[in-house]
């Protein structure tokens, strides 16, 4: 979370200092402008324009659009597009997930196998007023056994800032006075001028009384834009973990005989994860039960080698805790083909 805060500060400075223009290595620039300055409200239409600056009025380049919410992850919004003069990105009916910062990047050359932008605009901000958005909506349950501590989290982003209210399994509003010896609410918040406010509300039950505390809890977030939104989280006994998340190719590492991949842990089920397991199979085909590889919790990267070129494979990864195993996460990948000179005549 500290990284996100520092990234927010850095991007805010860049947006002001760069004035959305940065000189490229080939003596041409890219500048981003927005169709309407000032605050934008959810549901509006917004157009960004990327303009090429050059002494050559006939200069044509490949342009790609990128977006980041807080600076921790940059998302590519378009394939490289061949343009002369300028190129536009239109957002129709903008939502909270589209707040943040936008830029265009470009190069005078592009091929499907190689894309290396040489010139970038500065970041252009989109300050947006929008209803609350849950950032941990995939967390639908928490495992905690009798007499242990349980922490339920409501992680919300909005602009203006949201207020968060908790409700228990019986539908009653939970406050600091509900059961002060066992139940508490902790809340942290901060603001980014272009991506909105973050509110992280924690409902802490310590210790859990299984006869009264198990059940469905509700987090309700509301602000001055639109109506409130709810997120339900079930508190129950611990269980097997959820599947690993974000299983993906690592840094585009796919060759004719190697696939490199990485993943992130899923929810641990309320019990400490013990290890990961992985396997690979050709498609079509079955996983060989004797080929599962055990990996430690610190190892979230692996590469399979000695594979066949131009062949479709499926990779599977699952996690284990003391109560059982998670479902598989799977990834289908095709290895690169042989070069023309390596093909059999």
Read off the pLDDT of residues 90-139 as tens digits, 9 standing for 90 and up.
999 999 999 999 999 999 998 877 889 999 999 999 999 999 999 999 99
- 10 Å Cβ neighbour count for 319? 28
The span from the CA of 251 to the CA of 238, in Å, is 35
Averaged over 239-261, what is the pLDDT? 95
**Same domain membership, residue 146 and residue 164:** yes
Averaged over 31-38, what is the pLDDT? 90
- Predicted local confidence at residue 23, as pLDDT: 37
Residue bearing the bigger pLDDT, 289 or 343: 289
Q: Residue 191 falls within a domain, yes or no?
A: yes
Averaged over 310-330, what is the pLDDT? 98
Q: Residue 137 falls within a domain, yes or no?
A: yes
Q: Residue 54 falls within a domain, yes or no?
A: yes
Over the stretch 66-88, which tens digit does the pLDDT of each residue have? 999 887 789 999 999 999 999 99
Residue bearing the bigger pLDDT, 281 or 37: 281
**Same domain membership, residue 144 and residue 113:** no
**Same domain membership, residue 155 and residue 118:** no
- Predicted local confidence at residue 344, as pLDDT: 57
Residue bearing the bigger pLDDT, 66 or 13: 66
Token reading at 27: 């003596």
**Same domain membership, residue 228 and residue 150:** yes
Q: Are the CB atoms for 303 and 257 separated by under 8 Å?
A: no
Strand partners, 156: 134, 199
Whether the predicted pLDDT of 22 surpasses 90: no
The span from the CA of 326 to the CA of 317, in Å, is 9
The secondary structure element, H or E, covering residue 295 is strand 293-295
- Predicted local confidence at residue 215, as pLDDT: 98
Q: Which of 72, 92, 126 is the last residue of a domain?
A: 126
Q: Which residues contact 114 (CB under 8 A, 6 or more apart)?
A: none
- Predicted local confidence at residue 13, as pLDDT: 36
**Same domain membership, residue 12 and residue 115:** yes
- Predicted local confidence at residue 218, as pLDDT: 98
Range of the domain at 262: 245-338
**C-alpha angle with apex 32: 27 to 37, nearest 5 degrees?**
150
**Arithmetic mean of pLDDT over the chain:** 89
- Predicted local confidence at residue 20, as pLDDT: 36
CATH number at residue 162: 2.60.40.10
| 277-to-69, 183, 289, 300, 317 alpha-carbon distances in Å | 33, 38, 11, 10, 6
Q: Residue 302 falls within a domain, yes or no?
A: yes
- Predicted local confidence at residue 194, as pLDDT: 82
Q: What percent of the chain has pLDDT over 90?
A: 79
Token reading at 142: 């928490």
Whether the predicted pLDDT of 290 surpasses 80: yes
**Same domain membership, residue 145 and residue 119:** no
- Predicted local confidence at residue 73, as pLDDT: 84
Q: Are the CB atoms for 49 and 83 separated by under 8 Å?
A: no
Q: Residue 255 falls within a domain, yes or no?
A: yes
Strand partners, 319: 276
Q: Which of 102, 126, 150 is the last residue of a domain?
A: 126
| Number of separate domains in the chain | 3
Averaged over 6-11, what is the pLDDT? 40
Over the stretch 180-233, which tens digit does the pLDDT of each residue have? 999 999 999 999 888 899 999 999 999 999 999 999 999 999 999 878 999 999
**Same domain membership, residue 193 and residue 305:** no
**Same domain membership, residue 171 and residue 80:** no
- Predicted local confidence at residue 9, as pLDDT: 38
Q: Which of 176, 201, 236 is the last residue of a domain?
A: 236
Q: Give residue 254's pLDDT band: very low, low, confident or very high (50, 70, 90).
A: very high
Q: Residue 344 falls within a domain, yes or no?
A: no
Handedness of CA 287, 245, 10, 75 (dihedral sign): positive
The span from the CA of 43 to the CA of 57, in Å, is 36
**Same domain membership, residue 173 and residue 115:** no
Q: Give residue 335's pLDDT band: very low, low, confident or very high (50, 70, 90).
A: very high
Averaged over 151-157, what is the pLDDT? 96
**Same domain membership, residue 196 and residue 302:** no
Q: Are the CB atoms for 34 and 94 separated by under 8 Å?
A: no
- Of 20-24, 59-63, 170-174, 308-312, minimum mean pLDDT range: 20-24
**Same domain membership, residue 6 and residue 122:** yes
Whether the predicted pLDDT of 258 surpasses 90: yes
- Predicted local confidence at residue 38, as pLDDT: 81
SS3 210: helix
**Same domain membership, residue 90 and residue 12:** yes
- Predicted local confidence at residue 229, as pLDDT: 92
């Amino acid at each position: 979370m500290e990284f996100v805060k520092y990234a927010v500060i850095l991007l805010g400075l860049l947006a002001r200092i760069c004035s959305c223009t940065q000189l490229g290595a080939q003596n041409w620039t890219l500048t981003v402008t927005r169709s309407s300055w000032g605050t934008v409200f959810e549901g509006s239409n917004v157009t960004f324009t990327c303009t090429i600056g050059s002494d050559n009025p006939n200069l044509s380049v490949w342009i790609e659009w990128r977006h980041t919410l807080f600076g921790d992850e940059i998302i590519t919004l378009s394939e490289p597009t061949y343009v002369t003069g300028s190129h536009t990105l239109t957002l129709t009916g903008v939502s909270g997930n589209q707040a943040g910062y936008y830029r265009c990047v470009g190069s005078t050359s592009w091929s499907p196998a190689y894309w290396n932008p040489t010139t970038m605009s500065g970041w252009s901000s989109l300050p947006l007023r929008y209803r609350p958005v849950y950032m941990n909506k995939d967390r639908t349950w928490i495992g905690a056994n009798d007499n242990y501590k349980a922490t339920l989290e409501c992680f919300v982003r909005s602009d203006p800032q949201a207020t968060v209210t908790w409700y228990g399994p019986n539908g009653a509003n939970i406050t600091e006075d509900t059961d002060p010896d066992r139940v508490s609410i902790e809340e942290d918040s901060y603001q980014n001028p272009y991506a909105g406010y973050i509110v992280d509300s924690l409902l802490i039950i310590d210790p859990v009384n299984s006869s009264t505390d198990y059940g469905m809890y509700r987090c309700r977030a509301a602000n001055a834009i639109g109506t409130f939104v709810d997120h339900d989280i079930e508190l129950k006994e611990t269980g097997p973990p959820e599947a690993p998340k974000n299983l993906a190719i690592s840094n585009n590492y796919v060759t004719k005989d190697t696939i490199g991949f990485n993943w992130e842990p899923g929810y641990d089920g309320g019990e400490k994860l013990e290890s990961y397991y992985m396997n690979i199979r050709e498609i079509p085909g079955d996983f060989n039960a004797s080929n599962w590889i055990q990996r430690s919790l610190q190892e979230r990267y692996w590469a399979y080698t000695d594979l066949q070129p131009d062949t479709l494979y499926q990779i599977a990864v699952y996690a284990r805790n003391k109560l059982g195993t998670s479902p598989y996460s799977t990834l289908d990948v095709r290895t690169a083909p042989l070069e023309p000179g390596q093909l059999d005549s």
